[in-house]
A = this chain, B = another copy of it.
Amino acid sequence: MSLDNLYSDLTIKTGAKLALVVLDGLGDIATPEQRNMTPLEMADTPNLDKLVQSGCAQGRLTPVAPGITPGSGPGHLGLFGYDPIEYKVGRGVIEALGLGLTLKAGDVAARANFCTVNAKGIVTDRRAGRIPTKKCEELCALLSTKIKKIGDTQVIIEPGKEHRFVIIFRGKGMEGPVTDADPNREGLAIPTVKPIDSKSAKQKKTAKLIAEFYKKALPILKNEKPANAFLMRGIAHQPKIPTFEERYQLKAAAIAVYPMYKGLSQLVGMTKIEGPQTIAEQFDAFQKEYDNYDYFFIHYKNTDKAGEDGDFAAKVKAIEEFDQALPRLLAKKPDVLVITGDHSTPCSMASHSWHPQPVLIHSTCSGSDKLDRFTETGSNLGSLGVFDAKFLIRLMQANAKMFDKYGA
C-alpha cells in the first residue's frame, strides 16, 4: 500500500478547523552584512512570540528535495501535501486559473507577456515598458477578434495585469510542456517552441500550433507601440490532481491576493475568497468564513517581494505587518495553526533559495518545544526536525486528530 493510501485509510472527519498561513519566501539566512541576523530575528513580533510561548512545535521544511530551489508552484503544492516532483504544474495553467478561467481536460495554457521587438525581431523590452492594464485589455481584445481558431483548435486570450496575459488552446491531441517562446533576456529573438519530449506527438502538435499562432498574431500587433509582439512561457496542460477534499476530507478555502496563489489553490479544489487586499483584511475574511470551511490557506506576499528585492528592512517590516494583524487570526482559536513559508527568499540572494524554511505548529496537542521565538535558528532546535514539506498537511491532520491509530 502506498503511504498516501495509508493516510487516506486512516483519515476520519472531525470538524476541526485548520489554518495554514504562508508568509511567502519567509526563510532567510544570517550574513555578516546584516549583523548575522535574519529578518525573522530582527523583526519585532510580540504577537508571534506570545503564540510560540503558549506552546508550539517547530522545525524546518525542505520544499522539494535538498538543494532544490522551488518556484511558487512546487513550493505551494508541497505545503498542500502534493509531492512537487510527482505533480508538475505549468505556470500557464496556474496563471489561467488565477485569472478565474476554467480549464478543461486537454487544454494547453501559456503565460504571455506583451513585449517590444525591433525591426530585426530582437526583443528590446520583455515587458513593453509595463504597459497599462487597459492597453493590455485592448490588445487582447484585438487578438481575440482576429484569431478565434487555428484549424480546429479554439484560442482563448485573457488579459491580466499590465503586460501580462494568458492564452489557452482548446482542442484535441495536445499536451505540454513545450519550451518557452521567450529568450528570458533582452537582445535575442523570440525562440521557436519545441517539444520537451521529442517522442510526444501531442507536444509536437502543440509546438506546431503555437508556431501558427505566432504567424497569425505578430502581423496584427506589428504597428502597435510599444507592445508590438509577445512572449509565451510555462506552456502546459492541466495535470490530473485529486482535490483537497478527496485527498484529506477537508473543505478548503484560499484567502490570497495574487492570481498565482489563487490559481494554485483552485488547482487542488479550494474555494477562492475574494476581496481582501491586506493581511489584516485577509484575517478578517478568515474570521468571517470560519464556519464555512475546515481548512484555510492564507497567503501573504510581502515577505517574498522584499526578499526578491534584496530589501532587508522591507522584509522585517513585512513580518511586523503580519505580526500586527495576527491577533485577528488568533481570535478564532483555530484547532490547528501553521505558520511557515513556501520556500526561503534570502535578502542577501535577492531570489528564491533551497534553504529549508522555518515552520511552527500550534494546537492543543502540538506540545511545546520551549522556544521563545519563531526564527530560523530557533526552529533548528524544534521537535519536528527538518522534514519534507509534503508531510506538513499530515502533521496538521494528526494535530486535528484526523487519523485513526495504525494497527493494534
A residues near B, CB below 8 A?
A: 1, 3, 6-7, 10, 28-32, 36, 54-55, 59-60, 64-74, 84-85, 88-91, 94, 111, 234, 346, 348-349, 351-356, 365-370, 376-377, 380-387, 391, 394-395, 397-398, 403-408
Contact = CB atoms under 8 A, between A and B. Distances in A.
A408 B234 CA distance: 8
Given A377-B370, A380-B382, A407 B30 contact: no
A68 to B, nearest CB: 5
Contacts of A404: 69
Contact of A29 (B29, B91, B368): B368
A30 B69 contact: no
Contacts of A55: 30-32, 36
A370 B41 CA distance: 12
Contact of A387 (B1, B66, B91): B66
A407 B74 contact: yes
B29 A367 contact: yes
A385 B383 contact: no
Please give me the 3 A-B residue pairs with the lowest Cβ-Cβ distance, nearest first. A29-B367, A385-B386, A91-B408
B408 A73 contact: yes
A403 B353 CA distance: 10
Contacts of A348: 365
A392 to B, nearest CB: 8
A408 to B, nearest CB: 3
A366 B376 CA distance: 13
Contacts of A353: 365, 398
A260 B261 CA distance: 50
A377 B386 contact: no
B67 A395 contact: yes
Contacts of A29: 365-368
A264 B88 CA distance: 37
B370 A30 contact: yes
Contacts of A7: 65, 67-68
